[in-house]
Amino acid sequence: MTQIHPTAIVSPGAQLGQDVEVGAFCTVGSQVQLGDGVRLVSHVVIEGATQIGAGTTVHPFAVLGGAPQHLAHKGEETRLVIGERNIIREHVTMHTGTVGGGGVTKIGSDSLYMVGAHVAHDCIVGDRVTFANNATLGGHVVIGDFVFMGGLCAVHQFTRIGRYSFVGGGGVVTKDIIPYGSVWGNHAHLEGLNLVGLKRRGFTREAINALRAAYRLLFADEGTFQERLDDVAEAHADTPEVMEIVDFIRSEANRPLCLPEREV
């Protein structure tokens, strides 16, 4: 049974699923959709055209669906879509999209957003990600599945971060990060592969060894980068994990590629 605290404000037009809990002093706007089992603990603001998937819990003082922080935004109706079974902790902010950026900010499922994390307009965030405290995304950032964002890190607008990557605490990311990469620093540079994450996620020894060999070849100091990329693609054509890196590098991008500080 859905429960709404007497001090909460739920606007007419809001759509609430089964077994939703709206805690004390929450505000739910007229265009909001809350899936089954969504829990707003207390003092939560959900506004704009925001959809929150089933089983998601939102903790106090989070604000979801606010207008994008973009000077070109003139009040057009844009959206925020959040997946299922997420944990969104205190003071997290997630904004709707912009007309120029496609009109929607998309958040995946089964993820943890710790205190003070921020997702800006038009971002696309995958499933099973972790944002540590105060991790911040600029607009139009794309985050793959299983990414870990360290505390206090910041990501430049339009940056892509590939699946299973790790961003160290306090990192300032201004360039695209390959899948399975590990980056640190201000500005962030590629330190290697996210080997700890790969082992924790159950990747086979064969896949990890192939990734390590491909990494060494790709970031060596012989030939041009394009030649080395082609060599990696040829040598590891039957390894999906390696080819994911190759395809990521070859795909269209708005930012340069994050590289090691020195050849490996």
Share of the chain above pLDDT 90, in %: 97
Considering 48, 97, 139, 144, which one is annotated as catalytic?
139
- What gap in Å lies between CA 255 and CA 57, rounded to an integer? 34
Among 96, 114, 140, identify where a domain stops: 140
Residue 122 appears among annotated catalytic residues: yes
- Residue 109 has what pLDDT? 99
248's torsion region: left (phi>0), alpha (psi -120 to 50) or beta?
A: alpha
Q: How many CA atoms does the CB half-sphere of 252 hold within 13 Å?
A: 0
Tens digits of per-residue pLDDT, 194-219? Answer: 999 999 999 999 999 999 999 999 99
> Nearest Cα to 131, choosing from 99, 175, 76, 87?
87
pLDDT tens, residue by residue, 35-61: 999 999 999 999 999 999 999 999 999
Range of the domain at 205: 199-250
**Based on the structure, what is the number of domains in the chain?**
2
Mark whether 133 and 203 lie in a shared domain: no
Q: What does the DSSP 8-state code read for residue 222?
A: S
Q: Is residue 187 part of a domain?
A: no
CATH of the domain at 237: 1.20.1180
Active site residue 121: yes
> Which residue in the list 43, 95, 121, 140 is annotated as catalytic?
121
- The one catalytic residue in 37, 59, 110, 122 is 122
The pLDDT tens digits for 156-209 are: 999 999 999 999 999 999 999 999 999 999 999 999 999 999 999 999 999 999
Q: How many CA atoms lie within 13 A of 245 on its CB side?
A: 33
Both 8 and 125 in a single domain? yes
pLDDT band at 221 (very low <50, low <70, confident <90, very high): confident
CATH of the domain at 52: 2.160.10.10
User: Is residue 10 helix, strand or coil?
Assistant: strand
